[in-house]
Every structure is written in C-alpha cells, then in structure tokens.
Structure 1
Amino acid sequence: MYVLSKNFKEFIQSQKSENNSVNEIISIVVSKDATIDKLKKYLVEHDGVLERIRNSALDYLLLYTYDTLKDDCITVEELNDFIALKKIFSIKQGDFIRYKEFEIQEILKQQFIRMYSDKFIDNKEAITQVNLQIMFDLSYDKFEEFKKEEVISALIGGADPRNLDISTLPKGFIL
C-alpha cells in the first residue's frame, strides 16, 4: 500500500473533512499498520460509502490542493499523494470537472494570474501547470481553455510568447 507523505500527515492534523466517513478512511490509510485489507474491510462493512461521500472526498482533495499550493508549487510527493487519494476514494476521470468545475476554475485562475503576472513561465511554474492538469484529469484542450484569458492578458501586456509555455497563440490573437 502506498505510504502517504509526511506533508499529507501534517495536513490532516489541521484539516478534517466535514464528513466522518472521509475522516475514517483517511485514518485507516495513514495509520502505521495501514493495509489494503483494512481499507477493503472498512469498505465492505460500509457498503456504498464511496459513492455517498464522493462530493465530500472531492472537497477534501480540493482543500489539500490549496494546501499544496501555499508555496506556489506541487512537489512530486504531493502529486503522488493526490493520485493515491483519488484511487482510495475511487475518484474517476472527469469527476472533478463534473462535480467541482467552478472550484477547479477558481484554483486554476488564481494560479494562472500569479504565474502569468510577470509575463514569464519558469520551469517550476511549467511543472506546476502539468501537475495541476494531472491532478484534475484535464485534457490538454480543456487546460488550455482555462488558461487562455491569462495568456492573452500577458501577451497584451507585452510578453514574449516563447516565455509563456504555450504551443500556439490563442485563436484569433495576432502579434
């Protein structure tokens, strides 16, 4: 079983879900003697729990996203934790957009404003963009759509397109 990072264990000390079942599952997977069998036993005893708590699990993962972005980057460790938690809570591809699109847009907009404000995307920011795309299971086109407004704003502000980590200019934009 994947061992969640020290960062995540620190996060759960200060952040609890409003849903007791989410907290119980987290407790099981972070315990020192965590096993897949213990998690399976809980899930069998609480049949259908993952479907019932999907919304709360998504909210908790969004809360963890905000926590990971406090330092403006997402480490490999944090990304791996997030991916593991999605598996633990049976979050499927498309669930974030289907159930939490507004919240995803807000997180991404906040990050894009910060990243594009200096009209230059450094390596750390480029990696963070890729990690956000992975975390929320966003297609390339959907991710590009979300960042389009800030890319255009940076270009209008005089940014060199080669410094913005974009493959093409936004549709209809002419230099």
Structure 2
Amino acid sequence: MSEHEEIIRKAFAKYIEDKHPTGSLASVVQLLAAGTLSPDDFNAAIAHDYAFYREGLLDLVLYLIEFCIEDHQLSHEELLAVRTVKRLLHINEGDLYGLRRREIQGLMCREIDRILSDENVDDVEALHQARLQEVFDLGYDQYRELARASFDRVIDEKIRSIASSGSAAAERARQLYDHVLALDTVFRLSDSQKELLFGQPQRADEQPSSLSG
C-alpha cells in the first residue's frame, strides 16, 4: 500500500471510530478504511442516489482534510490522498467552496491564526498556504475572501498590543509590517490598519519605504 493510500486508510478508520456511520455511506467509509474502494464499489453503494448522499460525501472529504492538517502541515502525499478521495467520491472543483464555505473558513482560520502568531513566515509556511488553497480547490480571490476574517482579527489584536508598548512601538510596528509583507501574495494591510500601525505621516518621506508596495 502506498503512502497516500495508507493516509486514506488511517483517516477513515478513525472516522468510523469517531462518527459511527450507517447505511450506504457507511459502506463507502468502510471500503475507504480498508483501502479497497473502487469506482464500481462506489457506484453500487451510492450512484443510484448520489444527490441524496452528496452532502455526506462532502463531509467525508472535509474530515480527511482536517485529519491531514492536524499537524499544521500538508505533505505532497496528503494532497494526493485528498485528490484521490475527491475523485473516488465524484467531488468536483468548486463543490467545497459552493456548499461547505463556512466549514472551509473555520479550518483555514485555524491555520492562518497559527501562521500569523509565529511572527515569522518562512518558506515552509508559505508553501503551506499554497497547499491550503490547493486542497480546498480555491482560486486566489476565494482564498483571500475566506482567510481575511482571521487575518484581520489577528492583525487588529497585534496592533492594539503595539499601541500600548510605549517606546518599543515603532520597532514592533516595523517587525509586524515586515512579517505581513512575507504574506503579501495573499494578504495586505488595509489603509486603516497601516494608519493605526504607523500613525498618519505628515510627509511622504516619513512613511516607511516598503509601505508603497
């Protein structure tokens, strides 16, 4: 059994323990946990009433994604596991965003909170962002939309903390801004957040040079 197949097997063995599925959906989960689900098996169990089971199938994919990001990482093999299950369950690009947007946002907020709390974005975290976008089948604008609420919450909290830090405020503001620049492919500070962070410059040359980006 390959690594991504083992990930699928472990995830859905845990699903059975956690959720105790019943009916035709249980048959699909049991085959996933055994590593033996084939297109013919899926059709025999579900295809006769796919519309009825579609919501449950989407939840299976979300469960697998949550299982994979429990350690706040997404490996190539985990991405392959999710792709494989989407294909087996006939989940198309856009289905998760269209029907499970709130659940996606909850998972993404948790990950973005962790990334921003580090105050240091490295290449691994930048890659994690890209893989989050991929695993949920999100376009750039969709990813920004779903992650923005978490970003604003964390940034606003940090700005309030900086504002009360006295003489260290300027240096901490610069560090935070540089940190956000590392996320620039996904996030930007709003004008109001920049103003709260740095104050209102009196002249253009008083504004930190990288703010013009």
Please, what TM-score do these two structures have when normalized by structure 1? Answer: 0.79
Amino acid at match of 2:60: Y
- Residue 22 (structure 1) aligned with residue 25 (structure 2): yes
**C-alpha distance in 2, partners of 1:81/1:118?**
28
* Displacement after TM superposition at 1:54 (Å): 1.1
- 1:1-175 → structure 2 map (5 Å cutoff): 4-16=4-16, 18-28=21-31, 31=34, 34=36, 36=38, 39-40=39-40, 42-44=42-44, 46-152=46-152, 153=155, 156=159, 158=173, 159=176, 160=178, 161-166=180-185, 169-172=188-191, 174=194, 175=211
More RCO (CA 8 Å, sep 6+): 1
Structure 2 stretches of 5 or more lacking a match? 163-172, 195-210
For 1:40 and 1:66, the matched residues in 2 are separated by 27
8 Å contact 1:8–1:81 — kept in the other structure?
yes
**Deviation per residue, 1:94-124 (Å, 9 max, x gap):** 2112211111111111111111112222222
> Is the contact made by 1:19 and 1:56 (CA closer than 8 Å) also made in structure 2?
no
- Residues 131 and 20 of structure 1: CA distance in aligned 2, closer, same or farther (over 3 Å): farther
C-alpha contact (below 8 Å) 1:116/1:164 kept by paired residues: no
Calculate the TM-score normalised by the size of structure 2: 0.67
- Which structure dedicates a bigger proportion of its chain to helix? 2
More deviation, 39-48/142-151:
39-48
**CA distance in structure 1 between the partners assigned to 2:133 and 2:24 by the alignment:** 28
- The 1-side partners of 2:86 and 2:56 are apart by 12
- Judge conservation of contact 1:108–1:147 (CA < 8 Å) in 2: yes
Q: Cα RMSD between the aligned structures?
A: 2.8
**Identical pairs, percent:** 21
Is residue 109–residue 147 contact of structure 2 (8 Å, CA) maintained in 1? Answer: yes
> By how many angstroms is 1:79 displaced?
0.8
Q: 2:61 is matched by which residue type in structure 1?
A: L
1:46 offset after TM fit, Å? 4.8
* Cα separation, 1, equivalents of 2:64 and 2:42: 23
How many residue pairs get matched?
Answer: 171
Q: CA deviation at 1:171?
A: 4.9
Greater radius of gyration (CA): 2
